[in-house]
């Protein structure tokens, strides 16, 4: 019985100490003088097919896992590899750095009876999209393309639009494969506020292209 009383007494003292500590923290009147810029960092991907004046938007939200399945067998189709275009839309209210990861998978589809099977095929190198020169290709090092300027939206209701994958020159058109082959791609966007964002979130003291952030 004495043991129980002592235990209750110890618990009461600990509770009192914790309560006192929390109260002291909540009632502290210290102020922080360090000023930081607070704003929204919002970046999105816009993908579509375009051939001349003909355009077809790609709904990435409705696509399975956000993955685009590219036709690499019939260049006469608008949805062929050669016609893919990708823009990055910046809605950030503060200056922003961003990087893009392009996930590629070459696939083979075959049908056995009523069973459809899709398998991943190993393929060396990267697909030859027409990536724009404003991006630093750092895929060998960490898998990302880095946009080399800090950017923000044009206005509250108007994003800055940056071309990422542009029109492919005819001499670089994709090789023609049998229709059982496709190329699946997806995009991962990683955006941070320019002020200490790359250092704190990406662990990069300096940009991959040299110099300072």
Residues 12-21 pLDDT 10s: 433 343 333 3
Segment 191-201, tens digit of pLDDT: 999 999 999 99
Confidence of residue 37 (pLDDT cuts 50, 70, 90): low
Compute the average pLDDT of residues 28-40: 50
What rounded mean pLDDT belongs to the chain?
A: 84
Which of 180, 47, 160, 48 minimizes the C-alpha distance to 110?
180
Better-predicted residue by pLDDT, 15 or 208? 208
Q: Which helix (H) or strand (E) holds 4?
A: helix 2-26
Residue partners of 46: CB distance under 8 A and separation at least 6: 57, 86, 87, 88, 89, 161
Residue 94: count of CB within 10 angstroms of its CB: 16
Lowest mean pLDDT among 93-102, 112-121, 138-147, 189-198: 112-121
Q: Structure pTM?
A: 0.79
- Residue 181 and residue 72: Cα distance in Å, rounded? 7
For the chain, the maximum distance between any two Cα atoms, rounded to a whole number of angstroms, is 91
- Residue 188 and residue 148: Cα distance in Å, rounded? 17
């Amino acid at each position: 019985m004495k043991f129980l009383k002592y235990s209750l007494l110890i618990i009461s003292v600990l509770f009192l100490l914790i309560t006192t500590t929390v109260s002291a923290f909540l009632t502290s009147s210290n102020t922080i003088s360090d000023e930081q810029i607070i704003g929204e960092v919002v970046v999105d991907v816009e993908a579509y097919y375009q051939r001349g004046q003909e355009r077809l938007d790609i709904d990435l939200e409705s696509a399975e896992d956000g993955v685009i399945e590219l036709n690499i067998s019939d260049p006469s189709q608008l949805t062929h590899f050669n016609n893919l275009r990708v823009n990055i839309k910046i809605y950030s209210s503060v200056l922003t750095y961003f990087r893009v990861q392009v996930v590629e998978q070459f696939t083979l589809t075959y049908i056995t009876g009523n069973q459809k099977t899709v398998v991943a095929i190993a393929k060396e190198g990267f697909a030859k999209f027409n990536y724009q020169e404003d991006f630093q290709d750092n895929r060998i090092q960490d898998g990302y393309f880095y946009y080399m300027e800090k950017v923000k939206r044009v206005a509250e209701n108007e994003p800055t639009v940056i071309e990422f994958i542009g029109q492919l020159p005819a001499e670089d058109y994709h090789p023609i494969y049998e229709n059982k082959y496709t190329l699946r791609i997806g995009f991962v966007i990683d955006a941070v506020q320019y002020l200490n964002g790359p250092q704190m979130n990406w662990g990069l003291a300096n940009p991959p292209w040299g110099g300072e952030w």
